[in-house]
Amino acid sequence: MSRLAGLARRVFRLTLFLILLVVCCPVSAPSSNLEGAQGNVHPQGASALEGTQGQGPTVDLSALEGTAGHSTDPPLNDGIVCQPGSPCTETATHVPLRVLPRPFSNIYREAVVDQEAVVLANVPAFKPLYVFDRRGIDYSKPDSPQGWYQVGRARTAPEGWLQAKDALEWRQALLVSYTHPGNELEGRSPVLMFRDLASLKAIVDDMDMSSRARALYDAISAGEIPDQIVSMEPKRFVDITKRFYVLPILQWSQEQINGDDVRFLQIAAAVPGARGADTVRNPDYLEQARVGRGQGGTVLKDVKADIVFVVDTSRSMQPFIDMTREAVKEMSRRFSAETADRFRFGLVVFRDSLKVAPQLEYEARNLTPELVSARDLVDLIAQQGGATAVGSVDYAEEVFAGVDLALHSKWREGALRFVILIGDASSHPKGHPQNTTGKDEVDLRREYDDAQVHLFAIHLLDPRAKEDHPRAQAQFAHLARVRGTESSSAIKDVNAFEEDEYRTLVEHLTERITALLSQTMGDGAIQEAAPLAEFDKLWEAALIEYVGKEAHPPKDIVAWTLDRDLMNPANKALEVRVLVTREQLSTLAQTLDQVVQALMRAEVTQGQFFDALQSVAGQAMKRPEDLGGAVRLADTGLLPSFIQSLPYKSDILALTEEMFASMTAEQRSQLEWSILAKLDQYRTINEQVDAWFRINETDPDSDMVYPLHLDYLP
């Protein structure tokens, strides 16, 4: 029952968060303004650039024809319903229909081309508009679609009429974002954007795909732009969570390359608040897109770094804590007046769960609510960072609690962010009674990536605990994964009985940090230091993010692209995200909270899961009878409709009564904690004020969006 008590406490805390979220953002009926993907849709022939038609083959558009509405046109059977005064919605998902205007489009007062009746001229390209009515829609001739959309930038009221030839229907709120590209030597190539699908497939289907792609990159570098290329991702990294852009998926298809699923995507591109087509034929765009990832220019003169130590303070750690303190002390002596000001430090300590060992005083504790100087850190380690004299009940510690707490340090704006993890034991896995966060290394690494925090791990190997080494190494290595690489991790293993080996490592590490900052600033004050390639790679990944602040993603184009690196298809170049509003995040959080409560109730009463779910959630549903007759959780009608329309697999959505009954106690525990971890992630996202963006300048706060990883969904 102790595990259930722990779950109950977390559910209570998260429920308080949900109450506050609902008070701030009231949730309406399960309708949602997030468009779900309809799967592998038929091409629209929308591979146009700046309003000109693409060169792809003519394709039937009957699947995207107009819908029933409140106009006088005869009803069209495509699942869209329009009611006066509100946006048209898809009956299957209850989400509003949107269109993406092409460049140089106008919105007219009436459905007639009249320059004297233009309401909005030159509407921002590819920024979604709500559809309130459709009139005379006819896509039977793809090159010249007929008809009109009544549109508005907000969902409160229409503003006028947009010609069908100037619009692309967007029934998905699915976007893609650029992955971290890694360094230019070992990382991936920039995403190339093709004028039509045939041109892209010609490259992918070539027996020597890499050479064909290389020829395109070489031509672009030489300023000889290939006819089939529309635009290109900048070489520098543009992080969507820091510099928001919109790459909506218009349509897609899937193939396999060397056994891996790859996707051909037709995307549009927009940047809120910016105008103008960014093609490789635009000299200004091309010049900045070709700037290398390592070319920071004057921006690196202002670089600064925040470093938070996360230290195991269990009984065996005191010698290593002392040596860490001495290394930081020596580091501070080498600082110049300028470099000392560029660094700030934090200290997070962790032990084990107080439920099993209350004498340990804490599970995890942040000793630096405000980051401090190196000298202050030395004093903190000496005064408050000592190891406990009390033993725990097992070898594993609460590593994840310390790593989670460090993530929420008070980082300085614009600083490179690093965590140095030092420990000799694994962490309790997700679902373990002593796991206090409900998270594991996968959850935390995802959150670290979004926050641009990079972790260096020092794993102390105690020969007496060999059975723990593989588990700890796997956890530490994943937490220390170098962003922009597929397999590199910034981790060092040290024999815990060889104190000189550890002392040498931390001395080299602190020396290397100082040298790298001096080198990055370009002041020539590079101190001699033994190479530490693992940390160098971490520093390089952080600098790529930092320099990327100066890059501009392409906008106002439509093109075809591949979600993998054309030079090395094993590397992902684009990752799928889904735009959610706070209302949708609130709805999803409330639903998952009810699922967790039902799981707990079914376990306590030894009853059936769906009966427990009906008891917990039935009163809040429009059709509670759907719960009783459901086979899968996805069939209950409880989860927001947009979730069920997205093309991804989910163990939670597939849950059946039989699956629940066959689960072991450990498997049920893993499921419960997995959902609670997602709820924690929703809370963190909701609290990040700067993480929410407006697609259109006129959007109210309630329509601000966040580009959510598909992995964050249930």
At residue 527, does pLDDT exceed 50? no
Q: Same domain for 415 and 542?
A: yes
CA distances, 317 to each of 208, 350, 363, 390 (Å): 54, 11, 15, 12
Q: Same domain for 687 and 546?
A: no
Q: How do strand 98-101 and strand 129-138 relate by DSSP bridges?
A: antiparallel
Does residue 50 fall inside a structural domain? no
Name the domain count of the chain.
4
CA distances, 528 to each of 333, 335, 531, 626, 651 (Å): 15, 14, 9, 69, 52
Does residue 43 fall inside a structural domain? no
Kindly report, residue by residue over 564-606, the tens digit of the pLDDT. 999 999 999 999 888 888 888 888 888 888 888 888 888 777 7
Kindly report, residue by residue over 334-373, the tens digit of the pLDDT. 887 778 889 999 999 999 888 878 888 889 999 999 999 9
The label of the residue with tokens 């700067």 reads 690
At residue 637, does pLDDT exceed 70? no
Among 415-429, 433-447, 637-651, which stretch is predicted with the lowest mean pLDDT?
637-651
The highest-confidence range among 14-28, 111-125, 336-350, by mean pLDDT, is: 111-125
Higher pLDDT, 611 or 168: 168
Q: What is the pLDDT of residue 623?
A: 53
**Three-state secondary structure string covering 467-527:** HHHHHHHHHHHHHCECCCCCCCECEEEEECCCHHHHHHHHHHHHHHHHHHHHHHHCCCCCC
Q: What is the pLDDT of residue 378?
A: 92
Query: 45 falls in which pLDDT band (50, 70, 90)?
Result: very low
Q: What is the pLDDT of residue 67?
A: 29
Q: Same domain for 700 and 615?
A: yes
Q: Which residue from 330, 309, 332, 331 is spatially nearest to 321, judged by alpha carbons? A: 309
Beta strand ranges found along 376-490 (DSSP E): 416-423, 453-461
At residue 1, does pLDDT exceed 80? no
Rounded percentage of the chain residues whose pLDDT exceeds 70: 81
Q: Same domain for 311 and 428?
A: yes
pTM of the model as a whole: 0.81
Q: What tokens does 615 get?
A: 């008891």
Do residues 289 and 190 touch, judged by C-beta distance below 8 A? Answer: yes
In sign, the C-alpha dihedral spanning 546, 682, 554, 694 is negative
Q: Which residue from 219, 235, 237, 220 is spatially nearest to 291, judged by alpha carbons? A: 235
Q: Same domain for 10 and 68?
A: no
Which residues contact residue 612 at a Cβ distance below 8 angstroms, ignoring those fewer than 6 apart? 598, 599, 601, 602, 605
For residue 305, give the CATH number of its domain. Answer: 3.40.50.410
Neighbours of 51 (CB within 10 A): 15
Q: What is the pLDDT of residue 585?
A: 86
The highest-confidence range among 430-434, 609-613, 620-624, by mean pLDDT, is: 430-434
At residue 289, does pLDDT exceed 60? yes
Q: What is the pLDDT of residue 689?
A: 78
At residue 621, does pLDDT exceed 70? no
User: For 12, phi and psi rounded to 5 degrees?
Assistant: -60, -45
Q: What is the pLDDT of residue 309?
A: 95
Q: What is the pLDDT of residue 323?
A: 92
Name the domain boundary from 542, 572, 602: 572
Does residue 344 fall inside a structural domain? yes
Does residue 476 fall inside a structural domain? yes
Query: 536 falls in which pLDDT band (50, 70, 90)?
Result: very high
Query: 8 falls in which pLDDT band (50, 70, 90)?
Result: low
Kindly report, residue by residue over 142-151, the tens digit of the pLDDT. 667 899 999 9
Q: What is the pLDDT of residue 645?
A: 61
Name the domain boundary from 172, 201, 235: 172
Q: What is the pLDDT of residue 564?
A: 95
Query: 641 falls in which pLDDT band (50, 70, 90)?
Result: low
Does residue 51 fall inside a structural domain? no
The predicted model gives 73-89 an average pLDDT of 77
Q: What is the pLDDT of residue 389?
A: 72
Does residue 455 fall inside a structural domain? yes
Alpha-carbon gap, residue 500 to 517, rounded angstroms: 26
Query: 544 falls in which pLDDT band (50, 70, 90)?
Result: very high
Q: Same domain for 225 and 268?
A: yes
Does residue 42 fall inside a structural domain? no
Q: What is the pLDDT of residue 602?
A: 80
Q: Same domain for 235 and 267?
A: yes
Q: Same domain for 165 and 190?
A: no
Query: 46 falls in which pLDDT band (50, 70, 90)?
Result: very low
Q: What is the pLDDT of residue 406?
A: 97
Round the average pLDDT of the chain to a whole number and report it: 81
Continuous segment of H or E residues that includes residue 108 = strand 105-108
Query: 61 falls in which pLDDT band (50, 70, 90)?
Result: very low
Kindly report, residue by residue over 213-267, the tens digit of the pLDDT. 999 999 999 989 999 999 999 999 999 988 889 898 888 888 888 888 899 999 9
Neighbours of 670 (CB within 10 A): 18
Do residues 399 and 426 touch, judged by C-beta distance below 8 A? Answer: yes
Q: Same domain for 687 and 699?
A: yes
At residue 18, does pLDDT exceed 70? no
Q: What is the pLDDT of residue 531?
A: 63
Name the domain boundary from 572, 607, 624: 572
Alpha-carbon gap, residue 476 to 487, rounded angstroms: 13
Rounded percentage of the chain residues whose pLDDT exceeds 90: 42
Which residues contact residue 273 at a Cβ distance below 8 angstroms, ignoring those fewer than 6 apart? 697
Specify the 3-state DSSP secondary structure of 126.
coil
Higher pLDDT, 333 or 459: 459
Strand order in the sheet with 229-232: 229-232, 192-194, 557-562, 260-269, 249-257
Residue 504: domain span: 298-550
Q: Same domain for 184 and 203?
A: yes
Neighbours of 48 (CB within 10 A): 24
Does residue 48 fall inside a structural domain? no
Q: Same domain for 403 and 308?
A: yes
Q: What is the pLDDT of residue 626?
A: 54
Q: What tokens does 603 get?
A: 């376990």
Q: What is the pLDDT of residue 458?
A: 95
The predicted model gives 123-150 an average pLDDT of 87
Q: Same domain for 262 and 314?
A: no
